[in-house]
Structure 1
Amino acid sequence: MRTVKHPHDRENLAYYLQGLIDNKYTLDQVSRITGYTKSHLCVLKGKFKKKGEKVLINGHKGMKPKNTVPDDVKKKIIDTYRTDFDGVNFHFFRKALNDYYDIHYSYRTIYTVLTEAGIDSPEKHNKPKKDKVHRPRYRRDSAGDLIQIDATPYQWFLWCGDTSYYTLHGAIDDAEEKLTGLCMTENECSYGYYDILEQTIDRHGLMFDIYSDRSAIFCVSQKDKDKLTIQEQLAGVHEKRTQWQQILDKLRIKQILAWSPQAKGRVERMWRTLQGRLPWYFKHYKIKTIQAANDFLKTKYIDIFNNEFGIVAKKAAVWRKPPANYKDFICSKFERTTDNSGVISFQGYKFSISAPDIAKKKIELCIYKDGMKALVDGIFYPVTLRDNLQDGIGETMSTSLKNIIYEYMLTDCKNICA
């Protein structure tokens, strides 16, 4: 049989206390009716007998709790969000208030202040869709075991009226979820990926594996894999390789290619975080150029991100020590043969190489963002453009050399052949 619980009658507590004093009710009866213990009723009875009904009035009634946010602070929080943080998620807004505005409240308090002002969280959840379930890829146990790389275009400088899309290249460690490199360029390009690879090696060392999508810079399409040059066939090459793959081969880094965006979950979450936060940092520090952005990203923001989002790996790091000259390998390389004068042709231009016995010799022309070198018998030598005339603004690098470097290092990698 189910026990029926009657609601407690506390509104008429004064009446029942007076009944106790007049011996109209017993302690058992009043305890059952009001829900108070007999010992507590004895205390209330004594106080009620001396001071009457005022002992039943809560002393805090009508007073604001000590942890209430003052009205002027509420206004500042709301105005600050609407002025400088519109569209930013509330978690980051709370962190910025704490770090830059000396306003210290819990996330729940900030959330309440903003939502009561009619501001919805940008991360407000809609009804979830029943998407196809993808098998998870488990996190690696050690830092340096696997690095994920990717790039994304975004309007990073809207705060100053620049509506252009610029591409941010990023690398993140799979085990610790820490950024290892960031580089912004006009578009997704070889230089951006070369730069974050260098940053990662400079900061930590060589990784074992690199995980990326199947962009043209990372792999040759299936239909072009067998299209080998005569030189490649004579060299025993069985499958065409991109410049990126050749760099990884030199550094003994294994390449892993993703088959779907879902397989790159960690790096995709990284982009959501960066797109939600970096525009505010750029506005706060008055950053509006790619060069200034790269300086900030490399010297400050990587550490800011890692301190907030980095986790502890299950096992010790396994970064490898790179060779002293590893940067010589991170470039675009092209095989050429010198003529009788030790001169090579490339893209319609003539280049001379400052090396001994260079006539009629096979060399590798190495293109970097800031110039070229020639690899001859395992040694790097300077390369000089034969028509090395200064351009109109007096810079030492000729316009023709700039154009070559732009074509092979900075051109959108989605619009060129690997």
Structure 2
Amino acid sequence: MESTLTTQEITRVQTLQRVLDGYLTQRAAACELGLSVRHVHRLLGRLRDGGVAAMASRRRCKAPNNQIDAATCRRILGRCRSDYLGFGPTFLAQTLAQRDEISVSREWLRRLLIENALWKSKRRKRNLHPLRERRPRFGELMQMDGSPHNWFEGRAPECTLLLAVDDATSRICSARFERTETTDGYFRLTRSHIERYGRFLAAYPDKHSIFRYSGQSVASDVTTQYQRACNELDVELICANSPQAKGRVERANRTLQDRLVKAMRLANICDMEAANAFLPGFLENHNAQFACEPACSDDAHRSASSFDLDYILCRRKERVITKNLMFQISDTVYALTDAYSKRNIVTGARVELRIHTDGRMTGHHGSHELSVKSLGKRVRNAPIVGAKDLNAHLDRRLPNPHKPALNHPWT
């Protein structure tokens, strides 16, 4: 029977037998085994009455008291194969507790999913990067990024989620879905943040052309529309040199690409408008779980009450007016139609055009607002090409053929 005992139980039998033989006292045996004297006395009684076999644990081969019943297991597996397909153990445990009122541990779920081939743990290669201390105050540094992804899992076209994450707390302060990363999209993101919290001290995006011009041909003093807006708001714009430099917003993107996608699936969100309405409630729960307290309790945000956000957060262009009170932007011709323009705008005058985030365009000359009307796309005359240049002209219209690499096996 000793072969059915564990190593610990065999050690107990040997020590208790020495007590029965008179070589050891009960108190000394209790110290040696790390048990109380009362428990040693009980074990001695079991050894005398039942022999060595009685020293085996009475719980062996019995179901634990906290075992999950089979009906609950079947219910959980059914949900995992339908609505919760692809959920990880941690997020699944939270979702089951919130939506189904089933409280189970993450580790138990992990084993259940692996046993039923519903989860496969992924070993991630971690590149070590030097850690940077968080900024001490909320609102000092706002990390920004856009994340293109299949957010609706095919229920709607792919789009981009724009995020602003506070460096001190990892709190997602503002977020919105846009078709792509655009200047207008970041203007809308920045405005929603400023209207709720105020002006932050610095923005920390990547080196996208929205934030800075790239290329040696561009003068260093030329600014983008977003950089110009930051200068007028007294917000410093700092561009990160690598994705790892703004790791907090990158990790937030990775988390949302998992959790937000599944949450929108459960809520049957199928378009960007509904997704933007869904975001505030989701982010409130997300921040309650993942955001941390800043090192300093002072808020670094500043008031924006004295700033005209309609004027600052829009694209502004300057155009020279023709004798017909017309100008052109991106092959589209516009005309000034108000009475002030007809009386006071002369040929060659410069007019400021403001393209607002809602698509409106307004013209401004001094303190006067001008009415602008679109006349449609500019119609270009057909080119006149001689016979000697016709082939070259058509070749420029053809797509460039793919050129294989020098080490390609077919070359």
TM-score, length of structure 2 as denominator length: 0.76
Aligned to 2:350: 362
Q: Is the 8 A contact 1:159 1:279 kept in 2?
A: no
Q: What are the equivalent positions in structure 2 for 1:82-231 lying under 5 Å apart?
A: 82-122=81-121, 124-126=122-124, 128=125, 131=127, 133-158=128-153, 160=155, 162=156, 164-226=157-219
Structure 1 199/342 Cα, relative in aligned 2: closer, same or farther at 3 Å? same
Please provide the CA RMSD for this pair.
3.5
Deviation per residue, 1:64-85 (Å, 9 max, x gap)? 2222111222222233223233
Question: Offset of 1:116 from its aligned partner?
Answer: 3.2
Q: Is the 8 A contact 2:363 2:372 kept in 1?
A: no
Indicate whether 1:272 and 2:254 are aligned.
yes
Q: Is the 8 A contact 2:136 2:294 kept in 1?
A: yes
Aligned to 1:350: 334
Q: Is the 8 A contact 1:28 1:38 kept in 2?
A: no
Structure 1 253/101 Cα, relative in aligned 2: closer, same or farther at 3 Å? same
Deviation per residue, 1:157-186 (Å, 9 max, x gap)? 2263x5x43111111111111112212222
Q: Is the 8 A contact 1:198 1:327 kept in 2?
A: no
Which is further off, 32-41 or 93-102? 32-41
Aligned AA for 1:276?
D
Aligned AA for 1:351?
A
* Secondary structure in 2 matching 1:224: coil
Aligned AA for 1:250?
E
Question: Offset of 1:320 from its aligned partner?
Answer: 0.9
Q: Is the 8 A contact 1:91 1:107 kept in 2?
A: yes
Aligned to 2:392: none
Aligned to 1:303: 284
Indicate whether 1:285 and 2:267 are aligned.
yes
Unaligned runs of 5+ in 1: 1-5, 227-237, 388-398, 401-418
Identity percentage of aligned residues: 24
Task: Report the Cα distance in structure 2 between the residues aligned to 1:110 and 1:157, rounded to whole angstroms.
Answer: 26
Deviation per residue, 1:195-240 (Å, 9 max, x gap)? 11111111211111111111111111132322xxxxxxxxxxx721
Q: Is the 8 A contact 1:339 1:359 kept in 2?
A: no
Indicate whether 1:384 and 2:382 are aligned.
no
Identify the structure with bigger relative contact order (alpha carbons < 8 Å, sequence gap 6+).
Answer: 1
Structure 1 271/42 Cα, relative in aligned 2: closer, same or farther at 3 Å? closer
Q: Is the 8 A contact 1:166 1:186 kept in 2?
A: yes
Question: Offset of 1:7 from its aligned partner?
Answer: 7.9
* Secondary structure in 2 matching 1:363: strand
Which is further off, 281-290 or 77-86? 77-86
Aligned AA for 1:366?
R
Q: Is the 8 A contact 1:150 1:170 kept in 2?
A: yes
Aligned to 1:329: 312
Question: Offset of 1:139 from its aligned partner?
Answer: 1.4
Aligned AA for 1:188?
E
Q: Is the 8 A contact 1:154 1:167 kept in 2?
A: yes
Unaligned runs of 5+ in 2: 1-6, 378-411
Indicate whether 1:26 and 2:22 are aligned.
yes
Q: What is the aligned residue count?
A: 360
Task: Report the Cα distance in structure 2 between the residues aligned to 1:117 and 1:58, rounded to whole angstroms.
Answer: 31
